[in-house]
């Protein structure tokens, strides 16, 4: 071992000849079978070879062998000194030059405290969301939609916002593991490439299987295509528990090809959602665009025309609740209902074999009439979690109405390698069980957790000879895989993705991988001739041709990075006609049998975000359930099953069982139990493990969407939900202020009585545009009735207007607020007690019979009252009025009497009852917005109208010696909103957007009667009710109800 | 007051007027001093005292544990939440402060009104006030989120150049309670000075002589001393009298000034004051009945005292009842939806039970005080005092918690569930109060000797010119 210097020389020599590289595997192979003296001789022989030295130095880069010698003092000191020096050298290792171009807001250089913005995209199976990332000192601290991108117009959604926390999650996997022991990338590379070399030589990759998450990256597809040339028999399969199988299957049948449907809601007057949650989040492809276009036609800005939404759905979604007319049907009835629509459109009678109730028939008739009247200007959207038949029916209806080509066009799929994922998985399991799989590489998906329970993935997986798992977490799959490669977050790695319209975004990393994670590109690259080409190189290679075609490649590349997308890469509409559209729907199960439907969780999706505290704590829309999941059902089903809310029941379906607590949901279809996926994780991390129950336990491959004939058994146990807002039934008799029905929500009734929610039908609005101010107590008192003098605002007076017509209750604003304002996550128990810290919440009120309610979503944050009750009662003056009319909290001054909270009629103040903010976890410190204080224990906090953003804009304006421009200040909630429901600005400026909104007749303040004079006002909702249908169903108008 | 069916042989009745005596016959100046000072100066502390203070200290330790944990973790260990941001701490604060009021009323207002029957219960009623204020005063401090910054509520000159916010009723509380505590301590102490003089003179032990000598401030009992003493007492009584009304008025402002339905009402000041006196007298009875039994003080704390206090309770109880009924009436008469809903919720909402506990304890059961026999039975009065204090605690619970659980925005309605730390802290203050009281009865003459002596016939002799019938008053 004293021949180190020579060895190093040899290393240098050998390094120039990459072909002769030796791997550890090969060394092992050569030594295999040798024992005793022979072993040592072989080892000596090997050791003399230069390749061995090279291999050794790769394995032990710090020349660790030195330590085997007895350490002399001199030797030790030399080594110690060298390590010090080397540490510096390693630290200065020249990273490959992968410049990120250019800044959106160009600073001269990095100015600390001054954020810079970069464009990237969040790859999501339903289509990527283009992003503009705020980076402070090169740490991404806020994600927002790319305002220039045609799909999102700057909006985002709850899950995308949550991925920021996922980046800094301290529970992320930080090492490559081999059977639980730490390894490094070269070791894996050696093993993997060794295998690949064998496979390539024999059988063209036979026995090599990839199981990937849904592919959205064209580069990944290109890499695979290239790899397949050398490995024709290797298989690349995709499986995610939530997938687009139904849509793909239907389009395959109708068009003979996998196509994506793009709905143009800006041209649709009548929209029918068939169990489609297109307003509820990116669980529906193209959500941001759909929601934005839908809302744009409801602004009543200079027009009194609106679109109309019908929703037929089985569980209660925000989409359904925003509909003018909602019909709750069992999921298995939606198909027959769609078939009935199609039949009536075509002039025939509804298909026999199923009898609709009176109410359903009336709904059907009115709907068909309305659709017909708006032929070519209507659209039917099928739900992703509905059966292929429903999708097929939607294609047929759109075709029959002449909508195809107008309000709906068909394009290539976002997924460059579309497949029916359920079949993919079945193929894999069959091959696994047949022993055909040597190497199974699972990339960014978690089948051990999410695969259908009847396929028994974990047993099948154990039959693969070797398994590799790439993922950001050491999750259920990573735990049983032989190799676990810690994955890179999308903000850490290069890639590309298409948004749902096909526009390509380059995903550029915002930060060096925190834990050296690898991406799927790195894995696939191993199969190619240049395994060390980084993802950066791969992505550049993919777009080289296309970008070079339009001029200078480098220039165009930089422009693409700067813009965040490649212009004009949206898919062109395909002129296809549906051919095979005979809709054969299977009859639904007997009406009184219980069916179970599985839906992706609106916060956690399929479980991938289970360890994101923001998303766990975020109250789900409609139910306001945080932290857990539930067996959701209607009040009627509750009675039928003789269970109560919070009872734990055992649901048996298709031979599998799951224990779930019951939660009643207003408007839920009867005889249906909705189970949301994504909870009950065992290896999610500290936040997500053990929350809720695992609905996958009841999900079989034959019935991944709707499972009929479920059996329900009471267990006698109870489970207390962490619900941020409960629904009380109004049991008051008429004389006590109630309506005597006993089926309405107490809050709903009270809310309307109190004028908190005001709305009208479109006809009523046309007749009386001032409807929001009619009625008792609906007018604000004169400004001078206060004891205290009014403030004067000479320059700016900030205010906010929220359009109740546009708000779809999707929660994007809340998570955006989390990120912007460093809001703490408090945990399930604290939420249960009622101490959730969200500054902004979406109040959901159910009006009318809870079996078929109308709902109202009202975003509620600090109203910044002119005459603020909180300011008057704070004994230390910790909450004060600014000269621009903000009601500000001075955290430093707050002693925590909580009097302000008691006196706040809006109850928007949040108190740090305990030390909620995490002061310990290092990675979370990187995430925090440096402009916002991290609040300690005992301090009150609340919405500040994003005062840090106001200050930033004012400083910028001062520097330019100008006024702050309208629209220059965008609050975090406003920025995230997909429907532009929130407008912020200077109300002193008569021409500002917010001042104009406040001047609208529909504008009103909540609880104005208290003379609080809130700065946030609401634009009352107007519903484009189909009068005929309302009359047929005997629904009263809001004025009568209210 | 006079009753016709006088039993001639009843020693507790004045044969001339037929009234109950304030003090049993047969006492002399010496016997009074003897009886009262012996309790303190005895070298033989009764075992019961030791037993009692041990139990009480144990309970008080619970308070220490609760407060320590509170300071370590934060107010989140309590049940307070959104929207009920005030819970047990504020309820207890108002309850304890209310209890204190009876002491001040007895020592100040009854002094001004020359109600001499107050003399024998005056001292310990005022001690009760002090200890209640100690318990009460603790809560505003510990209930804040950052108790180490509690001093920011005081207007003191500081480098930050900030003042408290004078529009806040909490700040008024600070002034009201601190003034109240100060006046109560001074008044109590001034009243003790002549008795401390007596103790100094009678103490056998060196330590006793030394300490009582110190605290008696050189009292020699000269006429000049007595004149100054009487003047000081009157002046302090004059100062304390408005406090009886103002302190609880200010505390009621914490609620009345707020916007919350159920708090925002002008009736609070008078009914809070009446409620305070109501609960305070109840507490005096709770203390007096066992003490008089244990130390055989039936001669000095007589049935007349018990009965009079019963009458005060009945009166203030009726005022409180009037307050409750006015709240209900106004909820209807105001035609305000908020008030109407608040009252409906208070009665029939999820926490409606607490309202009915309150009505039962504060209005229904105390009507038994109309019965003379009930008022004259120490044990029944003791029972009634416990009922009334429970009721008064629930009154604050209903006001603080029930109003907060359901206010303006239905989306924010919530509930409140006290934790073990809430209960621990409350019970702990009862322990602290009892410990302080045990120390008081052991080391301080619990009945003012010099004031009792005034009531003796011997002291009347010198005032021959005075008409006789007023003597017993």
Q: Do A902 and B153 touch (CB under 8 A)?
A: no
Confirm or reject contact between A750 and chain B (CB < 8 A).
Answer: yes
B114 or A2: whose pLDDT is higher? Answer: B114
**Average pLDDT in the B158-176 region?**
89
**Number of domains observed in the structure of chain A:** 4
Whether residue A26 has pLDDT greater than 80: no
Q: How confident is the model at residue A908 (pLDDT cuts 50, 70, 90)?
A: very high
Q: How far apart are CA A206 and CA A743, in angstroms?
A: 63
Q: Do A897 and B145 touch (CB under 8 A)?
A: yes
Q: What is the largest CA-CA distance in chain A?
A: 103
Chain B residues 401-440 with CB within 8 Å of chain A: 404, 407-415, 417
Check whether the bond before B83 is cis (ω within 30° of 0): yes
Collapsing DSSP states into helix, strand and coil, what is residue A276?
Answer: coil
pLDDT at position A1037: 47
Range of the domain at A715: 594-723
Could you tell me which residues are beta bridge partners of residue A484?
A177, A469
Q: How many helices, marked H, and strands, marked E, lie in chain A?
A: 35, 38
Whether residue A412 has pLDDT greater than 70: yes
Residue of B73, B75, B85, B251 to mutate, testing the A interface (most A Cβ within 10 Å of its Cβ): B85
**Average pLDDT in the A711-736 region?**
83
Does residue A701 share a domain with residue A779?
Answer: no
A777 contacts on B by Cβ (under 8 Å): 337
B152 contacts on A by Cβ (under 8 Å): 876, 893, 895
pLDDT at position A105: 60
Q: Is residue A477 part of a domain?
A: no
Q: How far apart are CA A700 and CA A454, in angstroms?
A: 5
* CA distance to partner chain B, nearest, from residue A846 (Å): 11
pLDDT at position B60: 94
Q: How confident is the model at residue A100 (pLDDT cuts 50, 70, 90)?
A: low
Collapsing DSSP states into helix, strand and coil, what is residue A605?
Answer: strand
Tokens 């479980």 locate to A607
The encoded tokens of residue B342 equal 């608040």
- Chain B residue whose CA is closest to A880: B165
Whether residue A102 has pLDDT greater than 60: no
Confirm or reject contact between B352 and chain A (CB < 8 A).
Answer: no
Q: Is residue A215 part of a domain?
A: no
Does residue A997 share a domain with residue A860?
Answer: yes
pLDDT at position A3: 39
Q: How far apart are CA A886 and CA A377, in angstroms?
A: 45
Q: Is residue A283 part of a domain?
A: yes
Q: What's the sign of the alpha-carbon dihedral A988, A991, A996, A999?
A: positive
pLDDT at position B467: 52
Q: Do B145 and A894 touch (CB under 8 A)?
A: yes
pLDDT at position B28: 78
B132 Rama class: left (phi>0) / alpha (psi -120 to 50) / beta: alpha
Q: Is residue A294 part of a domain?
A: yes
Whether residue A76 has pLDDT greater than 80: no
Does residue A746 share a domain with residue A696?
Answer: no
From A379, A396, A411, give the residue that closes a domain: A411
Q: How far apart are CA A675 and CA B316, in angstroms?
A: 59
pLDDT at position B387: 94
Does residue A749 share a domain with residue A715?
Answer: no
| A611-642 confidence digits (pLDDT tens) | 999 999 999 999 999 988 999 999 999 999 99
pLDDT at position B16: 66
Does residue A691 share a domain with residue A746?
Answer: no
Does residue A698 share a domain with residue A769?
Answer: no
Q: Is residue A970 part of a domain?
A: yes
The encoded tokens of residue A964 equal 């702050």
pLDDT at position A122: 92
pLDDT at position A20: 52
Share of chain A above pLDDT 70, in %: 88
- Chain A residue whose CA is closest to B163: A876
Q: Do A834 and B408 touch (CB under 8 A)?
A: no
In this prediction the pTM is: 0.86
From A344, A376, A411, give the residue that closes a domain: A411
pLDDT at position A82: 54
Chain B residues 168-197 with CB within 8 Å of chain A: 168-171, 174
Provide long-range contacts, Cβ within 8 A and 24+ apart, for B334-339: B336/B261, B337/A737, B337/A753, B337/A754, B337/A777, B338/B261, B338/B408, B339/B261
The encoded tokens of residue B336 equal 């305000």
B417 contacts on A by Cβ (under 8 Å): 833
B467 Rama class: left (phi>0) / alpha (psi -120 to 50) / beta: beta
Whether residue A648 has pLDDT greater than 90: yes
Does residue A850 share a domain with residue A742?
Answer: yes
The encoded tokens of residue A134 equal 């705020």
Q: Do B411 and A830 touch (CB under 8 A)?
A: no
Residue of A855, A902, A919 to mutate, testing the B interface (most B Cβ within 10 Å of its Cβ): A902
**Average pLDDT in the B53-70 region?**
94
**What CATH number is associated with residue A680?**
2.40.40.20
**Average pLDDT in the A1026-1042 region?**
66
pLDDT at position A196: 87
DSSP one-letter code for A698: G
A950 or A48: whose pLDDT is higher? Answer: A950
- Chain A residue whose CA is closest to B145: A938
Closest CA to A1016 of A860, A799, A871: A799
The mean-pLDDT minimum among A562-571, A887-896, B24-33, B158-167 falls in B24-33
Q: Is residue A717 part of a domain?
A: yes
Chain A residues 668-727 with CB within 8 Å of chain B: 725-726
Does residue A758 share a domain with residue A647?
Answer: no
| B198-252 confidence digits (pLDDT tens) | 889 888 889 989 999 999 998 988 999 999 998 998 898 888 888 888 888 999 9
Share of chain A above pLDDT 90, in %: 50
**Average pLDDT in the A87-91 region?**
45
SS (H, E, C) A452-501: CHHHCHHHHHCCCCEEEEEECCCCHHHHHCCEEEEECCCCCCCEEEECCC
| A222-253 confidence digits (pLDDT tens) | 999 998 888 888 999 999 999 999 999 999 98
pLDDT at position A239: 93
| A311-330 confidence digits (pLDDT tens) | 999 999 999 999 999 999 99
From A665, A690, A723, give the residue that closes a domain: A723
Q: Is residue A542 part of a domain?
A: no
Mean pLDDT score of chain A, rounded to an integer? 85
Does residue A273 share a domain with residue A323?
Answer: yes
**Average pLDDT in the A283-302 region?**
91
A1016 contacts on B by Cβ (under 8 Å): none
Q: Do A873 and B167 touch (CB under 8 A)?
A: yes
Does residue A889 share a domain with residue A750?
Answer: yes
- Chain A residue whose CA is closest to B173: A875
Q: How far apart are CA A540 and CA A538, in angstroms?
A: 5
**Average pLDDT in the A198-209 region?**
84
Whether residue B82 has pLDDT greater than 90: no
* CA distance to partner chain A, nearest, from residue B388 (Å): 28
| A803-849 confidence digits (pLDDT tens) | 999 999 999 999 999 999 999 999 999 999 989 999 999 999 998 88
pLDDT at position A744: 85
pLDDT at position A932: 92
**What CATH number is associated with residue A840?**
3.30.70.20
Distances (CA, A) of B190 to A15, A25, B132: 99, 96, 19
Whether the complex's predicted ipTM surpasses the cut of 0.85: yes
Q: How far apart are CA A362 and CA A35, in angstroms?
A: 86
Burial grade of A878 (CB within 10 A; 0-12, 13-18, 19 or more):
buried
A240 Rama class: left (phi>0) / alpha (psi -120 to 50) / beta: beta
Whether residue B118 has pLDDT greater than 90: no
CATH no. of B46-439: 1.20.1630.10
Q: Do A750 and B171 touch (CB under 8 A)?
A: no
Q: How confident is the model at residue A63 (pLDDT cuts 50, 70, 90)?
A: very low
Q: How far apart are CA B46 and CA B442, in angstroms?
A: 10
Q: Is residue A111 part of a domain?
A: no
* CA distance to partner chain B, nearest, from residue A903 (Å): 6
């Amino acid at each position: 071992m004293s021949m180190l210097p020579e060895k190093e020389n040899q290393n240098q020599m050998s390094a120039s000849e990459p072909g002769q590289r030796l791997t550890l595997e090969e060394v092992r192979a050569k030594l295999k079978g040798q024992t005793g003296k022979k072993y040592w001789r072989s080892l000596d022989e090997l050791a003399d070879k230069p390749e061995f030295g090279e291999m050794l130095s790769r394995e032990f880069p710090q020349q660790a062998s030195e330590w085997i010698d007895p350490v002399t003092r001199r030797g030790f000191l030399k080594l110690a000194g060298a390590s010090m020096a080397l540490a510096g050298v390693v630290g200065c290792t020249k990273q490959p030059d992968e410049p990120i171009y250019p800044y959106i807001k160009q600073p001269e250089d990095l100015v600390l405290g001054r954020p810079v913005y970069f464009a990237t995209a969040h790859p999501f199976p339903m289509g990527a969301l283009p992003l503009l990332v705020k980076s402070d000192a090169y740490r991404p601290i806020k994600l927002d939609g790319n305002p220039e991108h045609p799909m999102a117009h700057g909006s985002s959604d709850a899950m995308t916002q949550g991925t920021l926390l996922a980046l800094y999650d301290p529970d992320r996997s930080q090492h490559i593991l081999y059977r639980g022991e730490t390894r490094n990338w070269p070791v894996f590379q050696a093993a993997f490439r060794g295998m690949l070399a064998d496979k390539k030589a024999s059988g063209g990759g036979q026995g090599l299987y990839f199981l990937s998450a849904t592919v959205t990256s064209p580069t990944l597809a290109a890499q695979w295509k290239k790899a397949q040339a050398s490995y024709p028999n290797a298989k690349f399969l995709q499986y995610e528990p939530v997938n687009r199988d139904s849509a793909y299957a239907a389009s395959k049948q109708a068009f003979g090809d996998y196509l994506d449907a793009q709905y143009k809601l800006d041209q649709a007057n009548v929209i029918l959602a068939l169990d489609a949650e297109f307003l509820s989040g990116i669980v529906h492809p193209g959500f941001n665009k759909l929601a934005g276009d839908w809302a744009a036609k409801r602004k009543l800005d200079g027009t009194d025309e609106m679109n109309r939404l019908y929703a037929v759905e089985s569980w209660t979604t925000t989409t359904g609740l925003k509909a003018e007319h909602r019909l709750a049907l069992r999921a298995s009835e939606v198909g027959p209902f769609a078939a009935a629509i199609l039949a009536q459109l075509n002039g025939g009678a509804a298909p026999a074999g199923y009898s609709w109730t009176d109410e359903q028939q009336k709904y059907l008739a009115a709907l068909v009439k309305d659709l017909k009247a708006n032929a070519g200007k209507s659209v039917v959207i099928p739900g992703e979690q509905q059966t292929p038949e429903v999708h097929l029916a939607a294609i047929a209806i759109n075709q029959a109405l002449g909508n195809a080509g107008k309000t709906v066009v068909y394009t290539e799929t976002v997924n460059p390698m579309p497949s029916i994922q359920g079949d993919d998985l079945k193929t894999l399991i069959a091959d696994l069980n047949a022993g055909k799989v040597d190497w199974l590489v699972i990339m960014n998906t978690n089948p051990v957790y999410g695969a259908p329970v009847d396929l028994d993935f974990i047993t099948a997986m154990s039959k693969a000879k070797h398994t590799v798992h790439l993922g950001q977490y050491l999750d259920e799959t990573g735990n049983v895989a032989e190799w676990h490669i810690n994955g890179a977050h999308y903000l850490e790695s290069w890639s590309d993705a298409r948004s749902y319209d096909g526009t390509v975004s380059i995903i550029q990393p915002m930060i060096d991988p925190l834990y050296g994670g690898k991406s799927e590109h790195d894995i696939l690259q191993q199969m190619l001739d240049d395994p060390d080409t980084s993802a950066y190189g791969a992505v550049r290679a993919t777009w080289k041709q296309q970008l070079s075609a339009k001029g200078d490649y480098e220039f165009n590349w930089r422009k693409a990075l700067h813009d965040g997308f490649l212009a004009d890469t949206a898919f062109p509409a395909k002129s296809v006609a549906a051919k095979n559209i005979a809709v054969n729907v299977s009859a639904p199960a007997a009406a009184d049998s219980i069916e179970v439907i599985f839906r992706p969780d609106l916060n956690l999706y399929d479980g991938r975000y289970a360890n994101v505290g923001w998303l766990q704590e975020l109250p789900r829309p409609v139910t306001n359930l945080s932290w857990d999941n539930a067996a959701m059902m209607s009040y009627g089903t509750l009675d039928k099953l003789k269970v109560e809310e919070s009872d734990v029941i055992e649901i048996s379906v298709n031979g599998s069982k799951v224990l779930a607590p019951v939660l009643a949901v207003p408007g839920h279809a009867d005889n249906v139990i909705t189970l949301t996926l994504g909870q009950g994780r065992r290896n999610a991390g500290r936040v997500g493990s053990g929350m809720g129950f695992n609905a996958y336990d009841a999900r079989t491959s034959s019935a991944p969407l709707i499972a009929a004939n479920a059996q329900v058994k009471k267990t006698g146990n109870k489970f207390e939900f962490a619900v941020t807002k409960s629904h009380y039934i109004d049991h008051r008799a008429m004389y006590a202020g109630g309506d005597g029905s006993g089926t309405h929500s107490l809050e709903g009734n009270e809310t309307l009585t109190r004028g908190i929610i005001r709305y009208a039908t479109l006809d009523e609005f046309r007749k009386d545009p001032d409807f929001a101010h009619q009625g008792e107590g609906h007018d604000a008192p004169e400004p001078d009735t206060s004891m205290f003098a009014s403030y004067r605002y000479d320059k700016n007076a900030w205010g906010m207007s929220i359009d109740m017509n546009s708000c779809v209750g999707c929660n994007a604003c809340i998570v955006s607020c989390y990120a912007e304002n460093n809001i703490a996550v408090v945990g399930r128990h604290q939420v249960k007690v009622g101490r959730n810290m969200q500054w902004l919440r979406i109040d959901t009120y159910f009006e009318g019979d809870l079996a078929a309610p109308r709902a109202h979503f009202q975003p509620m944050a600090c109203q910044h009252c002119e005459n603020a009750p909180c300011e008057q009662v704070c004994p230390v003056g910790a909450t004060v009025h600014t000269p621009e009319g903000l009601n500000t909290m001075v955290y430093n001054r707050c002693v925590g009497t909580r009097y302000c909270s008691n006196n706040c009629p809006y109850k928007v103040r949040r108190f740090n009852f305990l030390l909620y903010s995490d002061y310990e976890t290092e990675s979370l410190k990187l995430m925090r917005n440096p402009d916002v204080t991290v609040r300690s224990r005992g301090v009150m906090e609340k919405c500040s109208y994003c005062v840090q953003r106001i200050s930033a804009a004012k400083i910028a304006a001062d520097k330019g010696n100008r006024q702050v421009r309208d629209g220059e200040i965008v609050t975090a909630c406003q920025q995230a909103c997909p429907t532009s429901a929130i407008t912020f600005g200077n109300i002193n400026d008569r021409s500002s957007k917010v001042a104009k909104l406040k001047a609208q007749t529909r504008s009103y303040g909540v609880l104005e009667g208290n003379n609080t004079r809130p700065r946030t006002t609401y634009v009352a909702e107007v519903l484009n009710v189909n009068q005929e249908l309302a009359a047929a169903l005997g629904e009263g108008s809001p004025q009568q109800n209210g | 007051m006079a009753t016709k069916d006088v039993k001639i042989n009843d020693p507790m009745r004045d044969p001339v007027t037929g009234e109950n005596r304030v003090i049993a016959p047969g006492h002399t100046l010496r016997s009074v001093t003897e009886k009262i000072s012996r309790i303190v100066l005895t070298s033989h502390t009764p075992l019961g005292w030791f037993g009692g203070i041990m139990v009480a200290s144990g309970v008080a330790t619970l308070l220490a544990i609760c407060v320590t944990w509170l300071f370590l973790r934060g107010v989140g260990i309590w049940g307070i939440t959104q929207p009920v941001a005030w819970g047990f701490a504020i309820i207890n604060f108002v309850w304890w402060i209310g209890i204190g009021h009876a002491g001040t009323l007895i020592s100040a207002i009854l002094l001004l009104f020359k109600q001499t029957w107050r003399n024998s219960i005056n001292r310990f009623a005022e001690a009760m006030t002090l200890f209640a204020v100690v318990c009460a005063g603790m809560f505003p401090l510990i209930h804040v989120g950052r108790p180490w910054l509690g001093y920011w509520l005081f207007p003191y000159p500081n480098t930050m150049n900030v003042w408290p916010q004078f529009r806040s009723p909490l700040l008024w509380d600070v002034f009201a309670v601190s003034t109240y505590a100060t006046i109560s301590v001074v008044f109590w102490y001034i009243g003790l000075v002549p008795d401390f003089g007596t103790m100094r003179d009678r103490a056998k032990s060196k330590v006793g002589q030394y300490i009582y000598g110190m605290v008696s401030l050189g009292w020699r009992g000269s006429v000049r001393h007595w004149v100054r003493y009487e003047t000081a007492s009157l002046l302090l009584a004059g100062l304390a009298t408005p406090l009886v009304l103002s302190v609880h008025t200010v505390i009621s402002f914490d609620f009345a000034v707020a916007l919350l339905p159920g708090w925002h009402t002008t009736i609070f000041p008078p009914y809070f004051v009446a409620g305070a006196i109501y609960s305070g007298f109840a507490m005096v009875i709770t203390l007096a009945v066992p003490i008089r039994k244990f130390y055989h003080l039936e001669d000095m704390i007589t049935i007349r005292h018990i009965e009079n206090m019963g009458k005060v309770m009945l009166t203030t109880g009726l005022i409180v009842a009037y307050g409750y009924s006015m709240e209900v009436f106004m909820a209807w008469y105001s035609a305000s939806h908020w008030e109407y809903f608040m009252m409906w919720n208070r009665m029939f909402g999820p926490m409606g039970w607490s309202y009915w506990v309150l009505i039962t304890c504060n209005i229904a059961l105390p009507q038994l005080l109309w019965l003379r026999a009930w008022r004259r039975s120490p044990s029944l009065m003791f029972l009634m005092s416990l009922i009334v204090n429970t009721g008064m605690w629930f009154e604050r619970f209903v006001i603080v918690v029930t109003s907060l659980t359901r206010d303006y925005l239905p989306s924010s309605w919530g509930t409140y569930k006290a934790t073990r730390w809430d209960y621990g802290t409350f019970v702990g203050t009862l322990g602290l109060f009892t410990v302080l009281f045990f120390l008081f009865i052991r080391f301080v003459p619990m009945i003012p000797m010099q004031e009792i002596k005034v009531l003796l016939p011997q002291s009347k002799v010198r005032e021959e010119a005075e008409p006789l019938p007023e003597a017993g008053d």
